[in-house]
Each structure stands twice: as structure tokens, then as C-alpha cells.
Amino acid sequence: MTASTALRTDQYELTMLDAALRDGTAHRRCVFELFGRRLSGGRRFGVVAGQGRLMSLLRDFRFGDDELRFLRDRRIVSDEALAYLEGYRFSGSITGYREGELYFPGSPLLTVEGTFADAVILETLALSVLNYDSAVATAAARMSIAAGERPLAEMGSRRAHEEGAVAAARAAHIAGFTATSNLEAGRRWGVPTMGTAAHAWTLLHDTEQDAFRSQIAALGSDTTLLVDTYDIAEGVRRAVEIAGPSLGGVRIDSGDLPLVAAAVRDQLDALGATDTTITVTSDLDEYAIAALTASPVDAYGVGTSVVTGSGYPTAGLVYKLVARENGAGEWESVAKKAEGKGSVGGRKTAFRRLANGRAVAELVLGADAEAGDARPLEVGYVRSGSFDDAHEGADGVRAARAHHLAVREELPVRALALSKSDPAIPTVYEVRDS
């Protein structure tokens, strides 16, 4: 039996539900919106990720006997609320940006429509998924842009929560990474996997030569040998001596990488191993990758930086009520007005305006507005409780990756810089109050 995700929520969501059931407002139709007021870290664009993962989790958002018993024993909600939750199934609709899409401040990334009771209790789950996955995807996209055509492997599982590691591998692949070391991400999401040996393998053997011979015997001469356990130059010499000039690759995990990579390339070429590739993996982030652009590096492996959002482990997204039915059954826009934490009321739709194939503005318009030849940004995820499974599983990941790589070509040149700045394009609001 699949584990319920219903308690991956905050208590106040259920106490609000309980109070709304008591005062009769629980069944008012509402619109909630998930968006970011700003981009983390002065970045010039964001990449939204996690929608497919969220939809799979929402399928299991059910209050079974164990969940209801916990709520009853702790006296968190009333018997009336427990009876409602026992039969809870999300019956509303969800639209939003496609997974892998670029976003900017104010982009309505997810719109949840339904009764207040339907939608309010999804806040924490939706934010916990999209905040983390989007933070990783945004960092990964910056690294992928810095790497250019050189492949990137995600290797950060040991620096993350065990489930976060799987989510990070998925998000990084969507945003341009070619592979992951995490096998569960391969099984669950279809992300290509890779990996050969760590320093423990070399240290296990009596000599570095023994370790190299054994690895080649097991994996073939096209394997990648880790050459910096002891002395890099001596490691390279031994690697080519044992594998021959057909050695697949060497990996460097320490040292001043631009200098070391250049020296290793010269040494490999001198030994006749001109096709042997060089992979570097030492505490890389987008800035270190960019600094290696002119170096003879063939591939990168990134760990801590990508799974922590390269210093910004959350995207700073929020989930706010933007429209509701009033007591007379009429729709009204609502918005938070607090200084620095305000929101724009009303049901919205979004488009991206392009000029010569490059993005020039994010258009956030009223629900039924049209924007000429601007590119629509929203797709349907759930319609009246029925899920579109095209966004889930390995197929959903492949589609999200393809979409991301395609729309990334729309970024203006100024968006590709790594320095802090304003968003690459402005967000233009044209939303009338209901």
C-alpha cells in the first residue's frame, strides 16, 4: 500500500479547515496561487521544477486510519473535520507553468482552484516540493549554461537528505545535467546514472597500480580512473601505462584545477592518450565551472553546490489566496497588502513576449485575456479532480528536460551572466479586480 502524504502539512492548515467547516466558509470557491515575489540571490531568471513530482504526491494525499487516529489522539481537529478528511479527495483543478519553464518575479507558477477546504490544505506540500526542486533546477541551469556543451554529472547525494537527494538528481537533470550518481533517481525517474570508483578503492589495494588493474579488469579500458589519491602526475603515468593509450578517462578531485587540468592534458598527450578525457569534481559551482571554460576539461561532476541550490536552497515561493466567492456567491479578488510581502489579487494567466526569438517580457494578465502572438505558459495538471499523468514519471521528466532546454534558448544574452542583477526581463501585470 502506498504511504499517505496527507500529514506532510502544517497544523494551521487543518485548523483553518476545521474553523471554516464550523462557520460555513469551507465550501466557498477559491483560487490559490503559488509564485515568487523575487528571484533568490539576485539571479536573473528562475527554473520551475517539481510539478510532476507534486502531482504524484497529491494522488496519495489521503487521510487513512493512521492519519485520522493521529489527529484524533492529539485533538488537533474536531470530529466534524475528521469526518470531512476521511473522505477527502482533491476535486478541484490545477494549472501552471510547464515543468522546466523559466520564471520571473510574479510568475503564477501554479494555480489551484476549488473550495477553500479543497485547496488550503495543499499549501505546505506544494511549497515544500516546488521550493526545493526549483532552487536546485535554477542552480543547475546556471551550471549547465556555464558548462556549455561539456557534460555535467550530479554527485551530491551524500550532501542531502535521502529523499532530497533523489529530488535533486531529478531537478538537476531537467535543468541540463546529463547524469546522476543516485541509483534511486535512475529507477524512479529514469535519470541516466553513472559512477566508477572513489578514493577508497585505491586505498583498499596495496598499490595504486593494483587498484587501476583491478578496475580495468572489471570495467574495461574505457573506464575513468581517479588519479589524485597520491600524486597526480604519477597517477596519470601509471593509468596510461596499465590501460594503454585507449584509456577512457581520468578524474581529478583536488588541486588548482585550471593548472592541474592543463598539466594532465599535456601529460596525456605526451603519453599518446590523446583521446583520454579529463573529468573534474572538486567542490564545483557555476563560478568554478565558468573559470574552467578555457581549460582542457571534458566533463564535470558537481555535488554539494547543486543539491543546496548553490547557496540558495529554497526558491522563496509562496502560496496565497488571490480570489474567492463572497457570502453572496460573487467572485472577489483578494490580496495581501503587507509591506514587502504583498500579492496581486485575481485569477491570472501568463504569457512570454518574444522579439526575434528572445524573451522581452513576462505578461501576467487576467484569467480570460489574450496576448496576441506571445507564448502561453500554462498547462493543465488536474481538471475537476482528474490528473493528467503525462507530467509524471520518467516520461514527464524527459518532457520537462526537453522543454527546459528549448525555452532556455529564449533567454536574452544578459540573462546568461552569473553576477547578481535585476531579472533579465520585466514582469508586466494587467489584471483587473473581479
**Amino acid letter for position 374:** A
- Percentage of the chain beyond pLDDT 70 is 99
From the number of C-beta atoms within 10 Å of its C-beta (0-12, 13-18, 19+), residue 207 rates as exposed
Residue among 154, 39, 78, 112 nearest 384 (CA): 112
The helix (run of H) or strand (run of E) holding residue 401 is: helix 393-407
Q: How far, in Å, CA of 429 to CA of 313, rounded?
A: 28
- Are domains 11-136+312-430 and 196-297 of this chain identical in fold? no
| Grid cell digits, residue 48 | 520551475
pLDDT for 338 beyond 70: yes
3 vs 32: which has the higher pLDDT? 32
Residue range 235-263, pLDDT digits in tens: 999 999 999 999 999 999 999 999 999 99
- Residue 191 near residue 169 (C-beta atoms within 8 A): yes
Average per-residue pLDDT in the chain?
A: 96
CATH numeric code, 11-136+312-430: 3.20.140.10
Residue among 368, 357, 383 nearest 430 (CA): 368
Residue among 270, 267, 271 nearest 259 (CA): 267
| Domain extents in the chain | 11-136+312-430, 196-297
The domain 196-297 having CATH identifier 3.20.20.70: the answer here is yes
Residue range 135-184, pLDDT digits in tens: 999 999 999 999 999 999 999 999 999 999 999 999 999 999 999 999 99
pLDDT for 219 beyond 80: yes
| Average pLDDT of the residues in 331-354 | 92
Beta strands in 187-327 (DSSP E): 224-226, 249-252, 277-280, 299-302, 317-325
| Average pLDDT of the residues in 336-354 | 91
